[in-house]
């Protein structure tokens, strides 16, 4: 390794959280954004739903807080929920000022205002959206702003290998990271006064996911290896309605469909959600996902069906143009027939523990967005609170970084990456095999419904895979697949250990061995054994 980049702030990830933070910091600091693929290839871009914020005069912050607490099933941090809800509107107004065009409508008095939709768990219409492609509108607008800023450098196709800590044990802090430049296939280093993880979640640990390929839990694994605590990793949200079609890939059908009246049906056309919950299709996602999973297993069916064909065709095309276009290309006319759906891993509710400013346990290291655990989501994320969390915490982290960054801090020369004893791998098939095995047994043993026996079986497999991968990692040059697999296996272990810790069923964690809820509950917090004395 010969190349070292230096900056004030290094942001790992280029989604809503990372881009927002970069724009808020760039007038005060030199910023490097590391993007594992292209700048737009992340979960934000593919988010169809919207962003929750109180804009309706009939709605209230108290109602938003209460809805979130109910969805989180006793595990939300109420102070965090209120902090997020109170800062929602101002965060949205900043987005609007950046040029994001949310849908508008004209009311009976002829006034133009935002069109607000409703999604599962919400008691009011409070979801701002840009048709059914809100994430794309946000991502492309912010990416354009970032590219125009002279103090932001974007490094595309760069994987972070590991964080680097200072050698001063009395003042241990993050000073940067080793990175793999996929363009040159060389290991480089970035020295930064402040490092921010905005890497998204870990849904790629499962065989079926709505997320893009890059969602491999990199930030969670890196932070854990650096000694940070993680929390609530057992709560993996499965989106109830991914399009079930061999050519659909990981195409998500937004919850706004159900918010606008779509009905879930069995293959025979009968409706089933009222049998599971009085809120029917507008029940929280964990309830809906389990209901679909139960009906599929009970009937031996490949999928269930989501039907909005009873609504006016022009209404469907206007509000869901992306879905209409996609399904039409697959030969399905959603204005006339139901859409085949299955649940898929969608959102990581746990993550790296952070403060209200996004600070982790390691000085000068922050985490914002899906990679983090703030206490907002509890046992189940409420729809459209996830993008909101990105903007609110990017805002609070930016303020803290501006207030605390040391302008006089010297550049440290990071030691070279040692590749003297590694060779090129001629057995890529080993990585591919382990990759598929991991995602399959996580789906089967650590999925929507769990048992202690399945979890222990999965943990045994993870430990075997970890030893194989570590051996491989020591002897061969790094690659994208190897780095992602190393991180996914680490995150898989954290998910399983967290699930084994929770002796109850709550929210997204449902186990047949402990089907009831405990009267008193608390977050599941994992600490690396060598860091126990610091807790």
Dihedral through CA 373, CA 228, CA 366, CA 380, nearest 10?
-10
- Per DSSP, 292 falls in state H
Residue whose pair of structure tokens reads 């849904």 in the numeric block: 203
Q: Is 461 helix (H, G, I), strand (E, B) or coil?
A: helix
Closest CA to 129 of 282, 22, 260: 260
Closest CA to 392 of 20, 5, 14: 20
Strand pairing report for 186-197 and 174-181? antiparallel
Q: In the chain, what is the straight-line distance between the N-terminal and C-terminal CA atoms, in Å?
A: 35
Compute the distance between CA of residue 226 and CA of residue 195 in angstroms, rounded to an integer. 13
Compute the distance between CA of residue 289 and CA of residue 242 in angstroms, rounded to an integer. 10
Q: Are 382 and 181 in contact (CB under 8 A)?
A: no
Compute the distance between CA of residue 66 and CA of residue 55 in angstroms, rounded to an integer. 16
Q: Are 114 and 128 in contact (CB under 8 A)?
A: yes
225 noted as active-site residue: no
Between helices 428-445 and 480-501, what is the axis angle to 10°? Answer: 20
User: HSE of 433 in the Cβ direction (CA atoms, 13 Å)?
Assistant: 7
Q: Are 161 and 187 in contact (CB under 8 A)?
A: yes
Q: Are 195 and 367 in contact (CB under 8 A)?
A: no
Compute the distance between CA of residue 200 and CA of residue 370 in angstroms, rounded to an integer. 5
Residues 6+ apart with CB under 8 A from 337: 307, 309
Q: Are 193 and 409 in contact (CB under 8 A)?
A: yes
Q: Are 22 and 152 in contact (CB under 8 A)?
A: yes
For the chain, counts of helices (H) and of strands (E): 15, 20
Compute the distance between CA of residue 108 and CA of residue 99 in angstroms, rounded to an integer. 27
Compute the distance between CA of residue 376 and CA of residue 231 in angstroms, rounded to an integer. 12
CA distances from 98 to 23, 31, 204 (A): 10, 19, 31
Which of these is catalytic: 136, 285, 439, 502?
285
Compute the distance between CA of residue 293 and CA of residue 276 in angstroms, rounded to an integer. 12
Q: Are 252 and 203 in contact (CB under 8 A)?
A: no
Compute the distance between CA of residue 432 and CA of residue 485 in angstroms, rounded to an integer. 9
Q: Are 509 and 523 in contact (CB under 8 A)?
A: no
Residue whose pair of structure tokens reads 């599929």 in the numeric block: 296
Residues involved in catalysis = 285
């Amino acid at each position: 390794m010969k190349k070292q980049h230096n900056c004030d702030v290094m942001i790992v990830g280029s989604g809503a959280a990372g881009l927002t933070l970069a724009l808020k910091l760039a007038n005060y600091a030199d910023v490097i954004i590391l993007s594992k693929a292209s700048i737009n290839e992340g979960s934000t871009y593919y988010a169809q739903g919207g962003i929750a914020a109180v804009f309706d005069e009939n709605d209230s912050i108290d109602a938003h807080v209460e809805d979130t607490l109910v969805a989180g099933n006793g595990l939300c941090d109420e102070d965090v929920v209120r902090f997020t809800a109170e800062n929602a509107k101002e965060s949205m107004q900043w987005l609007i000022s950046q040029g994001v065009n949310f849908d508008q409508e004209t009311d009976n008095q002829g006034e133009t205002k935002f069109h607000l939709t409703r999604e599962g768990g919400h008691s009011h219409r409070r979801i701002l959206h840009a048709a059914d492609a809100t994430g794309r509108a946000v991502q492309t607008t912010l990416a354009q702003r970032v590219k125009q800023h002279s103090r932001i450098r974007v490094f595309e196709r760069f994987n972070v290998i590991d964080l680097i800590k200072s050698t001063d044990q009395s003042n241990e802090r993050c000073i940067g990271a080793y990175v793999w430049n996929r363009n040159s296939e060389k290991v480089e280093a970035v020295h930064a006064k402040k490092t921010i993880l905005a890497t998204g979640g870990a849904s790629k640990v499962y065989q079926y996911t709505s997320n893009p390929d890059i969602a491999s839990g990199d930030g969670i694994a890196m932070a854990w290896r650096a000694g940070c605590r993680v929390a609530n990793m057992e709560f993996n949200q499965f989106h109830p309605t991914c399009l079930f079609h061999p050519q659909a890939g990981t195409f998500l059908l937004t919850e706004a469909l159900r918010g606008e009246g779509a009905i879930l049906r069995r293959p025979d056309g009968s409706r089933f959600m009222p049998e599971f919950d009085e809120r029917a299709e507008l029940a929280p996602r964990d309830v809906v996902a389990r209901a679909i999973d139960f009906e599929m297993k009970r009937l031996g069916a490949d999928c269930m069906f989501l039907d909005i064909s009873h609504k006016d065709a022009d209404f469907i095309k206007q509000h869901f143009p992306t879905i209409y276009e996609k399904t039409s290309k697959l030969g399905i006319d959603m204005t006339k027939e139901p859409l085949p759906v299955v649940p898929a891993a969608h959102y990581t509710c746990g993550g790296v523990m952070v403060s209200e400013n996004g600070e982790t346990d390691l000085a000068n290291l922050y985490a914002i967005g899906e990679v983090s655990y703030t206490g907002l989501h509890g046992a189940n994320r409420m729809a459209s609170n996830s993008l909101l969390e990105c903007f609110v915490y990017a805002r609070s982290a930016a303020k803290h970084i501006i207030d605390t960054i040391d302008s006089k801090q010297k550049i440290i020369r990071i030691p070279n990456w040692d590749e003297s004893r590694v060779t090129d791998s001629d057995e890529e098939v080993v990585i591919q095999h382990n990759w598929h095995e991991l995602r399959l047994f996580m789906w089967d043993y650590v999925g929507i419904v769990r048992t202690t026996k399945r979890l222990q079986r999965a943990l045994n497999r993870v430990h075997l895979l970890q030893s194989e991968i570590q051996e491989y990692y020591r002897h061969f040059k790094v690659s994208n697949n190897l780095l992602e697999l190393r991180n996914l296996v680490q995150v898989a272990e954290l998910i399983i250990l967290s699930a084994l810790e929770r002796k109850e069923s709550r929210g997204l964690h449902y186990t047949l061995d402990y089907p009831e809820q405990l009267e008193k509950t608390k977050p599941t917090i994992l600490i690396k054994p060598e860091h126990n004395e610091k807790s």
